[in-house]
Amino acid sequence: MKFETYPFEKLTNLLDGITPNSSLDPIVLTIGEPQFETPSFITEALCSNSNLLKKYPKTSGEQELRDAIRSFFKHRFHVDLDNSQLIPTFGTREVLFNFPQFLLSRKEEPMMAFTNPFYQIYEGAAIASGAKVLHLNLTKENGFLPKINESELAGCGLVILNFPNNPTASVMDMKTMVEWVKLAIKYDFVLLNDECYSEIYTKTPPPSLLQASIEADNPTFKNILVINSISKRSSAPGLRSGFIAGDDRILKEYMRYRTYVGCASPLPLQMAAASAWRDNEHVIAFREKYKENFEIAHEVLGIKIPEATFYIWLEVEDELEFTKRLYERYNIKVLPGSFLGREGIGQGFVRVALVESAERTLEAVKRIKACLEEC
């Protein structure tokens, strides 16, 4: 297998040999890692359950964690999930890598589609699965929403959507999601939405694909799955708590597969994650912080405030030269869009992760503005 160089390694190579302006404090806006402290009630739950390290965790997850995730889904999306329709996971990265291999392993000519630009695990999973790839291109011209080409989708075994989207911050509405659900039924492919940014929104809560499945008269979620994570909503990426939910026929077989993978979450982490999934107040507080950051960026850069995520998909003339100049003159790191896409998608954009405090964000966007004015 030959995997593509990861975007952050590409960035290191791009900036190699460049000396940043040492008169300015470095600001890193490359990675979607919240820089806010994990709420104390979560860390306290972790510590108070440390005695559980003496026990092996279940691959299927403890019932307390399962119930907490189901409670979150009911509260947020008004969807009741049965135990059979849910698997707690060790974050979502491992799911995104191993689920396509599980699903496509019996296909003679596997084919997988995913949004482009993308989280690179999608591509890695396709390579590991030996799958042909269909890119669902997100461009300025199509409003960063994939155009539907039924003749191409008909050959797919798995289609991965990612809305709210990383890196473009676009949101797919319910009507469009319903169209995708109907396509998954019509052409019998599995449709999975990566919903890890569903809780970071500025006004209207984005829908879940499982809501759209019910709306499309598919209440058993046939062929439909979603994944979500605690990392962004709770500023706790180190907890590695996520889940996959939907079609119980698929999940039953996937659960059997997971018993061989060995990715069960340690019990203290599960208990801490359960406390986080059950609570919604801390999520509101984090959401307000990201909204304030967007408002600061809007005021300084004049950008349109995105509906969700904490990313700015900033249009520039040359994303590689801009990234190098911003680092050299203003000691800020951002990620070139071309590192996140294929076939020319992402060129002319940089991804800016507004994951810092309001004060640091203000300083950062002022420097970005100065660099834009120079270019």
pLDDT tens per residue across span 252-281: 999 999 999 988 999 999 999 999 999 999
CATH number, position 348: 3.90.1150.10
* 54 and 158 co-located in one domain: yes
CA distance 309 to 206: 10
Over residues 97-110, the mean pLDDT reads: 94
For residue 230, what are the CA distances in angstroms to 131, 179, 269?
Answer: 29, 28, 12
Residue finishing a domain among 255, 279, 303: 279
Domain assignment present for 2:
no
Residue finishing a domain among 218, 252, 279: 279
The number of folded domains in the chain is: 2
* 184 and 98 co-located in one domain: yes
Q: Which one-letter DSSP state was computed for residue 207?
A: P
> Can you point out the beta strands (E) in the chain?
27-28, 86-90, 111-116, 132-137, 158-161, 190-194, 224-229, 241-246, 311-315, 332-333, 335-336, 349-353
Going across the sheet that includes 241-246, the strands are 86-90, 241-246, 224-229, 190-194, 158-161, 111-116, 132-137
Over residues 159-180, the mean pLDDT reads: 98
* 82 and 31 co-located in one domain: no
* 230 and 309 co-located in one domain: no
Domain assignment present for 32:
yes
* 205 and 327 co-located in one domain: no
Over residues 239-256, the mean pLDDT reads: 97
What would the pLDDT profile of 27-72 be if each residue is shown by its tens digit?
A: 999 999 999 999 999 999 999 999 999 999 999 999 999 999 999 9
What would the pLDDT profile of 115-141 be if each residue is shown by its tens digit?
A: 999 999 999 999 999 999 999 999 999
84 C-beta neighbours (distance < 10 Å), count: 12
pTM above 0.75, yes or no: yes
* 265 and 315 co-located in one domain: no
Cis preceding-peptide flag for 20 (omega within 30 of 0): no
* pLDDT over 80 at 375, yes or no: no
What would the pLDDT profile of 170-199 be if each residue is shown by its tens digit?
A: 999 999 999 999 999 999 999 999 999 999
* 153 and 90 co-located in one domain: yes
CATH number, position 195: 3.40.640.10
Residue finishing a domain among 279, 305, 332: 279
> What is the domain extent for residue 44?
40-279
Q: What pLDDT shows up at residue 143?
A: 96
* 105 and 135 co-located in one domain: yes
* 253 and 370 co-located in one domain: no
Q: What is the CA radius of gyration of the chain?
A: 21
Q: What pLDDT shows up at residue 1?
A: 80
* 22 and 83 co-located in one domain: no
* 272 and 366 co-located in one domain: no
What residues contact 59, with CB distance under 8 A and at least 6 apart?
255, 258, 259, 263, 264
Of 223, 220, 221, 242, give the one whose Cα is nearest residue 231: 242
Over residues 288-304, the mean pLDDT reads: 98
